[in-house]
Structure 1
Amino acid sequence: MDATYIQQSIEQLKTNIFMHVRHRTLLQYTGTPVVNENQLFYLLLPFLNGEKWSKQIDESAITVGIVHASLYEHEKINEKHALDKEQQLTVLSGDFYSGRYYEILARSGNIPLIRQLSEGIVSRCEHQMKVYESNQYTMDQWYETISVIQTELIKRFYQVYQFEQYSTFMHTGLLLLQLLEEYRYLQQGKPSILFKKMIESAEDEKIFESMIEKQISSLKNLLNEYLQSSTVLKDDLKLYIKQQIALN
């Protein structure tokens, strides 16, 4: 197994997700669903590492991908232009994707997955709403929020199928990758709403940048320690994860 095979597996999962939510009008106005390839990689990590992977597990991974796409569509809504046709269709696309994953879950009859994903969506949305609250949070609380938004549904997927041995890599890797992406946008002068709220918590942008740089460095060291000491992951996957970080 090499990086090409890993990327092909991610692309196949992405294609399967798109096939389940394809709709001509939505494609025309809102484009293809947005999926995070880093999240798809960690969804597939147990499979890539040789774990037993049934049709049910594969369908569950597709469902998690659709849930992520649905939540992302709703997060794109701009309240100031909520009556615009494109905005209305963006709302509809999120609702459409929601309907599709509920349909898949209902058809599967997979009660443990339904329960875990329902609880995971609630937890993720609660953290997402912090961005719009007037409350002040510490930097550690913001890191937890980013982590929950990025990892909660995959964590629930792991729990259903007893893949928890991959959670450490997934939590550390996805938090680190998201911070790297957010920090890059900050340096380009395009901070996200989340980072703007975090800057308010730090009370000074320069201090904030220093804190983020320190956290990124700490997470890189931590992830490298996990990879070096792991007897679970195949060497090709360890290398891929290191390359992910290097490219970001």
Structure 2
Amino acid sequence: MVQVQHRTDLQPGTEREIRTKIYNEMDHAYLTRWIQAPVLESLQLILASAIASAASLTAAERERIVATLMLIYHGLAVHDDIEEYTAREDERYRQLGVLAGVYYSSKYYRLLAEAGQIELMGSFARAIQAINEAKAELERDTSDFTMTPGRWLELQESIHGALLHALRRTYAADQPHWDDIVTHLVRAALYAKAWQEKPALPVTRTLANLTLWQQANSEERKWWKQLVAGKVSDLNRLLSLHVKYGTSSTLFQHAEDEIGTVEHAVLLADVPGLLEELRTVFDQLTEVRPIARLGEEA
């Protein structure tokens, strides 16, 4: 989703131990010769660690639960990279990419069973189902731009937030502010990523492009359909339309609004240290100005 520099001065021992456990579980003598272990998605790690810390769990339980969530998340993410592996000459990359994804995510059964976390096992299973259903919908007819930005966002929120919400419902259901923290921080990251991405050809169904389609007039939509069909190829016009409708500014403002909601929810939740840690996240979500790519001011 989005990578951030994770502060480690708040709980240094726990942080190092969780990361070490995750990479130890990902390690496989043969797989790692071909498939590099992923860079851990810091936003997932920060939120999962914070939710687990807010619950009445031992340090060992927190470590195992957070490691499990990260293994599932990256196991599912590896499957999204299969097209990249397929493009390589050696067929083993594709085959091992599939195996790596299964290897990472399947470990959650053992880790949670060993910890006696049967309820969370079921919650994660339902989250995995929701994630796969969201991915399937996003993959259906990718040349159709009539999907609303709101629906695209809902599907992406499922992909990047379902596991965190499963953890929240299991261990922090009596702390309602966590719902807002997870929902709006995931949404802020999605808006920030969309704002920072440079428009390119061929056009894909991104949040920026869906936002543009919703505002385009009939003549522009006619041209857009030709662009999607590959009948025309004009990156300059695509860029000019994004500038005309202020796509970057719109997405940037949405990201800032979501961050404001997260800040308010964290204050209400009264979680010591979390707001300070998230400041780094907020800064990185809004640090890249879009002027260089679209000529717009945020």
TM-score by shorter chain over 0.5 = yes
CA contact (8 A) 1:16 1:62 kept: yes
Matched with 2:225 is none
Matched with 1:129 is 136
Matched with 1:52 is 56
Separation (CA, whole Å) in 1 of partners of 2:203 and 2:169: 31
Give the TM-score of the pair, scaled to structure 1: 0.83
Are the structure 2 counterparts of residues 168 and 178 from structure 1 closer, same or farther at C-alpha, using a change threshold of 3 Å? same
Separation (CA, whole Å) in 2 of partners of 1:132 and 1:85: 25
**Counterpart check, 1:232 vs 2:269:** yes
**Counterpart check, 1:177 vs 2:189:** yes
Deviations 1:159-187 (A, max 9, x none): 11125532211221122123322432326
Separation (CA, whole Å) in 1 of partners of 2:202 and 2:264: 33
Residues 144-153 or 225-234, more deviating: 225-234
For 1:186, what is the secondary structure of its paired residue?
coil
CA contact (8 A) 1:147 1:175 kept: yes
> Which of 259, 283, 288 does residue 246 from structure 1 map onto?
283
What does 1:17-96 align with in structure 2 at a 5 Å threshold?
Answer: 17-47=22-52, 51-54=55-58, 55-78=60-83, 80-81=86-87, 84-96=91-103
Give the TM-score of the pair, scaled to structure 2: 0.70
Question: Which amino acid is 1:156 matched to?
Answer: A
Gaps of 5+ in 1: none
CA contact (8 A) 1:69 1:94 kept: yes
Gaps of 5+ in 2: 1-5, 217-237, 286-298
For 2:40, what is the secondary structure of its paired residue?
coil
Deviations 1:187-219 (A, max 9, x none): 6x4999552x76257436535973464244134
> How far is 1:109 from its partner?
3.9
Matched with 2:257 is 221
Separation (CA, whole Å) in 1 of partners of 2:203 and 2:11: 28
CA contact (8 A) 2:52 2:62 kept: no
Are the structure 2 counterparts of residues 23 and 193 from structure 1 closer, same or farther at C-alpha, using a change threshold of 3 Å? farther
Separation (CA, whole Å) in 1 of partners of 2:204 and 2:15: 28
> Which of 158, 161, 165 does residue 168 from structure 2 map onto?
158
Aligned length: 244
CA contact (8 A) 2:48 2:66 kept: yes
Are the structure 2 counterparts of residues 183 and 15 from structure 1 closer, same or farther at C-alpha, using a change threshold of 3 Å? farther
CA contact (8 A) 1:34 1:69 kept: no
Are the structure 2 counterparts of residues 64 and 194 from structure 1 closer, same or farther at C-alpha, using a change threshold of 3 Å? farther
CA contact (8 A) 1:179 1:216 kept: yes
Residues 210-219 or 106-115, more deviating: 210-219
Which has the greater radius of gyration? 2
> Which of 8, 18, 31 does residue 13 from structure 1 map onto?
18
**Counterpart check, 1:145 vs 2:181:** no
The percent of aligned pairs where both chains have the same amino acid is: 16
Separation (CA, whole Å) in 2 of partners of 1:112 and 1:227: 30
> How far is 1:115 from its partner?
1.2
More helix by share: 1
Are the structure 2 counterparts of residues 75 and 225 from structure 1 closer, same or farther at C-alpha, using a change threshold of 3 Å? closer
